[in-house]
A and B are shown apart, each in its own frame.
Chain A
């Protein structure tokens, strides 16, 4: 890694998200306006103060290029770039925006993400007819992660009930979030009896299809002090992305019990943020929980516990909202759904609010360092962002 890095060079001065859910009556422009207006207001700026924008969008039908931001906000020809990096699209937009301000090229940047999934109908992620190679098999998204679940059950002896506990925890957390898609608790029995999507994952093991958007306003710390959050702007401690193969099923000897991209990205992020004991130092984390198995393996790969021990720690309450390392205190993808381009920015927004002590009803006590994590594709792309209070 180069000597440069991003640590303490970027400040978040505004953050907000739209309501997540089946937003039938709103389009992608509406959602983006909902999120960005909140963020502008939070920062105490107008859109005209934005110098450049990056937007995370996964699907072509949500919008190609940066024009979606222009057509929603009319930034009068300012630079806008669309970022696509699977489920890490939103967080990668944020990462690129960070470079934009840290380099000195721009004073204020907008990092946002949006996805309008529900216009395509509701049975699984759309687009699989046109993705990728025309001949080689393409499993559904849950099927990809199930390959890891099957192997973990074999290696670690985890059960379907163990996986269900992740869903129960995250649904419980989501109850307290005003912007969540689902605000309903589920029981272990409900999770286990739900219709199967891809064996062994049932409907409640999978995150839902949702619409949503989130937005962040960033600048450099020197300038942050002249905006609304002059006392409690949030600092970017590190920002890493790791990319591995789209087709791990062809990777000889790959064990399917860890996600190499998560391991690599957090290694980079911890080094830059100077974190040596993640479990102790990180107070809360928004961890990619597209499927229940994903959260468990990510907790291990992020070094919140040893390999094979995630279920044991989950049962002990380590990952509860008030546990040693709060995992998905917002309710995670399980409660918000996964409008792909929006999710990364939604997580960073959540961590920002928590560190500012403004996470009403779900505030993790005394949160100083938080982590946001996305894992996309077939565990191919992982982004990790670490944020800290300005102390």
Chain B
């Protein structure tokens, strides 16, 4: 059986209230808020977070591929999937690919993952991750919608799975709107929002009707419908036209976290599965120049509940924090021209020290047993033995031993001063990490504080994006 083995999600710490947007531009008020990535976050870092959540309790070496979907890829030449797979510590002999340029890239990646597993006896599972950080043009209505987040789904062929995948169907539609030209456009554009809405309605309706027809299903037989939308009114119209019973097509997320783009259908699915109905049929649908529909079924309600219990609740949704003002948002989105700080970097060093930098491996001294970091040091801190280490995976959590709040900083930071924290990792190893997502560090950083590691952008030295781990106050990763 092919189906969903696990899922995970990530929402950044910041919530921007739509109230602040309407105040900034004197726009009509729209309720709710939307999720906003920090200045040190992008689709790669958020995908690592969603991937870590999804892979909880699963050996990353058992995964045979990583399919990444986004419309806001960090590079146009150089894929993102291989870096995400590296940080998640997947094997080298796997398939990695980026699905881009359409908002339905997430659901398309998922259907292609199913096909790949079907077609290859030696491919048993593929991790599908979708993430987006679409930047709306300030003072446009897009600003109310576009939000940031990531979601991950592990597709697997296994005897026992919480959710099975029964069928899928896609249509392609060459609609012009919205778009973003490769060279010219900083922001997404559209020709006529009303026709955009009509394109959405037609493609989504057609793909779902065909999926129901092919499987001889009536709308009332569908238990959960996770349908992409960027406009709550159109979503309601679509659900009504498809004759789904009340409550089947959930639509609260737009108000709570905004339109996440490619991860939105996954996020809607994970949200719907918070209360899984036994044996329920599920429709997952993505939209963008056509649509994908995927039919699934809850196979084991208890397994779904177990997933919900062990993983963070919808990407830390409970643990988000409202931004105090609109200017922090504008600054985080780099919409203000500022001199940007670049440290030197070296692609060679990053490659050579991948296990230490990206995968958080340390050294364990074979002589005295001391676990230490980083791996570039060649002699033991304690017994001084040279080159007699074994490589060990370090834990992504620990306790602050000492720290400072550094005002003399260069670079892009979430907030200053920057806490520089010396952390004793659980299970061994001591490390120095900057802290992110901390408000009022003068009052809130303490010796003995528990922290989690989170993968972030750090600078653009040598004109490529340099990533490393930071720490953050505990958000609740298991």
Interchain nearest-CB distance for A291 vs B (Å): 11
Contact between B381 and A250, CB atoms less than 8 A apart: yes
Chain B residues closer than 8 Å to A133, beta-carbon distance? 349, 376
Known contacts A129-B410, A151-B447; is A249 also within 8 Å of B430 by CB? yes
Contact between B382 and A147, CB atoms less than 8 A apart: no
Interchain nearest-CB distance for A121 vs B (Å): 13
Contact between B407 and A147, CB atoms less than 8 A apart: no
What interface size band does chain A fall in? 35 or more
Q: Apart from A129-B342, A147-B422, A250-B373, what are 18 other A-B pairs with CB-CB below 8 Å?
A: A128-B410, A133-B349, A135-B350, A135-B353, A139-B432, A140-B406, A140-B409, A149-B404, A150-B447, A151-B401, A195-B407, A198-B407, A199-B417, A245-B381, A249-B431, A250-B432, A252-B429, A256-B422
**Which residues, 184 to 198 on B, are CB-close (under 8 Å) to A?**
none
Interchain nearest-CB distance for A323 vs B (Å): 30
Contact between B432 and A252, CB atoms less than 8 A apart: no
A-B interface pairs (CB < 8 A), number: 129
The answer for the CA separation of A244 and B335 in the assembled complex, in Å, is: 44
Contact between B402 and A150, CB atoms less than 8 A apart: yes
The answer for the CA separation of A129 and B417 in the assembled complex, in Å, is: 18
Closest to A144 in B: B404
Contact between B433 and A137, CB atoms less than 8 A apart: yes
Q: Is A124 on the interface with B (CB-CB < 8 A)? A: yes
The answer for the CA separation of A154 and B449 in the assembled complex, in Å, is: 13
Q: Is A60 on the interface with B (CB-CB < 8 A)? A: no
In-complex Cβ contact of B431 among A129, A245, A250 (8 A): A250
The answer for the CA separation of A152 and B410 in the assembled complex, in Å, is: 27
Contact between B343 and A198, CB atoms less than 8 A apart: no
In-complex Cβ contact of B468 among A135, A147, A148, A249 (8 A): A135
The answer for the CA separation of A149 and B343 in the assembled complex, in Å, is: 27
Chain A residues closer than 8 Å to B344, beta-carbon distance? 129-130, 134
Interface size on B, residues (CB 8 A): 48
Known contacts A199-B417, A250-B372, A252-B382; is A137 also within 8 Å of B434 by CB? yes
Contact between A135 and B447, CB atoms less than 8 A apart: no
Q: Is A223 on the interface with B (CB-CB < 8 A)? A: no
Most buried by A among B377, B405, B407, B441: B407
Interchain nearest-CB distance for A167 vs B (Å): 18
In-complex Cβ contact of A252 among B353, B372, B376, B405 (8 A): B372
Known contacts A147-B403, A250-B373; is A198 also within 8 Å of B468 by CB? no
- CB-based closest 5 A-B pairs: A146-B404, A199-B405, A140-B408, A249-B432, A134-B345
10 of the cross-chain contacts (CB-CB < 8 Å) are A129-B410, A130-B344, A134-B461, A134-B466, A135-B468, A142-B404, A143-B420, A151-B401, A195-B407, A252-B424
Q: Is A64 on the interface with B (CB-CB < 8 A)? A: no
The answer for the CA separation of A198 and B343 in the assembled complex, in Å, is: 20
In-complex Cβ contact of B345 among A135, A201, A254 (8 A): A135
The answer for the CA separation of A141 and B345 in the assembled complex, in Å, is: 20
Contact between A143 and B408, CB atoms less than 8 A apart: yes
**Which residues, 169 to 226 on A, are CB-close (under 8 Å) to B?**
195-201
Known contacts A154-B447, A245-B381; is A135 also within 8 Å of B458 by CB? yes
Contact with B along A108-135 (1 / 0, CB 8 A): 0000000000000001100011100111
Contact between A135 and B432, CB atoms less than 8 A apart: no
Known contacts A135-B458, A250-B374; is A196 also within 8 Å of B417 by CB? yes
Contact with A along B343-376 (1 / 0, CB 8 A): 1111001100100010000000000001111101
Closest to A256 in B: B402
Q: Is B32 on the interface with A (CB-CB < 8 A)? A: no
Chain A residues closer than 8 Å to B353, beta-carbon distance? 135
Chain B residues closer than 8 Å to A123, beta-carbon distance? 408
Contact between A129 and B341, CB atoms less than 8 A apart: yes
Q: Is A247 on the interface with B (CB-CB < 8 A)? A: yes
Chain A residues closer than 8 Å to B346, beta-carbon distance? 134
Q: Is B442 on the interface with A (CB-CB < 8 A)? A: yes
In-complex Cβ contact of B381 among A146, A195, A199, A252 (8 A): A252
Q: Is B177 on the interface with A (CB-CB < 8 A)? A: no
Q: Is B428 on the interface with A (CB-CB < 8 A)? A: yes
Contact between A154 and B402, CB atoms less than 8 A apart: yes
Closest to B343 in A: A129
Known contacts A197-B408, A250-B374; is A150 also within 8 Å of B429 by CB? no
Closest to A247 in B: B432
Contact between A252 and B371, CB atoms less than 8 A apart: yes
Known contacts A124-B408, A143-B404, A150-B404; is A251 also within 8 Å of B468 by CB? no
Interchain nearest-CB distance for B458 vs A (Å): 7
Interchain nearest-CB distance for A169 vs B (Å): 23
Interchain nearest-CB distance for B433 vs A (Å): 6
In-complex Cβ contact of B403 among A140, A150, A196 (8 A): A150
Interchain nearest-CB distance for A159 vs B (Å): 15
